[in-house]
Amino acid sequence: MLVDSHCHLDAVEFGRTPAEVADEASAQGVDWIVVPAVERANFATVAEIARHHPRCVYALGIHPMYVPRADEQDLQRLREQVAAAMDDPRFVAVGEIGLDFFVPELKEPAMRDRQQHFYIEQLKIARDFGLPVILHVRRSQDQLLKQLRRFRVSGGIAHAFNGSEQQAAAFTDLGFVLGFGGAMSFTRALQIRRLAANLPLSNIVLETDAPDISPAWLHPAINTPAQLPRIAAVLAELRGQPVADIARHTTQNVARVLPRLGSLMMA
Ligand SMILES: [Zn+2]
């Protein structure tokens, strides 16, 4: 069994319907796909995808790259939508939320503060509902960790992780697993490959982040969740472990940190 723990199935870049993209992935052996929201405008879309595709689940949140056009009402709306979605077994987390200090316009002091505000308010929502979070981590590891220590959530996934071994350990100490995807397939991605090879397997989940982060064999074409088995094979090779073990453990890890998805898997 394989789980794509991060895929923006509603993205227009696919040029196909979410159902077509998800069906192709299922045919390749991808059993579950986690679809995070990025802004208020797509909250209903990701819920709809999960309703229509039996192997998709979703998260609700405001992505740091969408913070510039988000407002306080969006946070209020998110809280209401999360409250309503607690009855929906396919709703599994708050996400995608986080901090991006790489994109130039997001690095300006005022926008850094604004990102922090949205991040903190969304951590509070996750905490209040006892939900895990799906984190966007870009040049922001320590700032994300600092708030996670203040606002204790039940863990989650630090997606597309890149950072030091010390930062990785800090996330896992707080109940997080780290998401690895196509970036591992680039031989120049030394730090990511070293982490993927050396971290305990209990701290790793697989993801495609499709349509972004195309693996080396596709680059620069659009990524899809159907690439996940090959990404699993890359991790297996880096670690010198059978791909079946990689699949089993990473699936167990997703079920552990996203317990609502774990319940669906057992149903
Ligand atoms: Zn994402």
Q: How far, in Å, is the centroid of ligand 1 from the Cα of 180? A: 12
- Please, are residues 67 and 120 in contact by the beta-carbon 8 Å criterion? no
Q: How far, in Å, is the centroid of ligand 1 from the Cα of 64? A: 10
Q: Using one digit for the tens of pLDDT, what is the confidence trace for 206-246?
A: 999 999 999 999 999 999 999 999 999 999 999 999 999 99
Q: CA 233, CA 231: separation in Å to the nearest integer?
A: 5
Q: How far, in Å, is the centroid of ligand 1 from the Cα of 242? A: 28
Q: Mention every residue, 6+ apart, whose C-beta is less than 8 A from residue 188.
A: none
Q: How far, in Å, is the centroid of ligand 1 from the Cα of 111? A: 19
Q: How far, in Å, is the centroid of ligand 1 from the Cα of 97? A: 9
Q: How far, in Å, is the centroid of ligand 1 from the Cα of 190? A: 22
Measure Cα distances from 100 to 66, 88, 118, 135, 243 in Å: 11, 30, 12, 10, 32
Q: How far, in Å, is the centroid of ligand 1 from the Cα of 214? A: 13
User: What is the model's pLDDT at position 187?
Assistant: 96
Residue 241: CB atoms within 10 Å: 14
Q: Mention every residue, 6+ apart, whose C-beta is less than 8 A from residue 124.
A: 151
Q: How far, in Å, is the centroid of ligand 1 from the Cα of 212? A: 8
Q: Is the pTM of this model over 0.85?
A: yes
Sites in the chain below the pLDDT cut of 50:
none
- The pair of structure tokens assigned to 167 is 């930062």
Q: How far, in Å, is the centroid of ligand 1 from the Cα of 34? A: 10
User: What is the model's pLDDT at position 121?
Assistant: 98
Closest CA to 203 of 249, 241, 237: 249
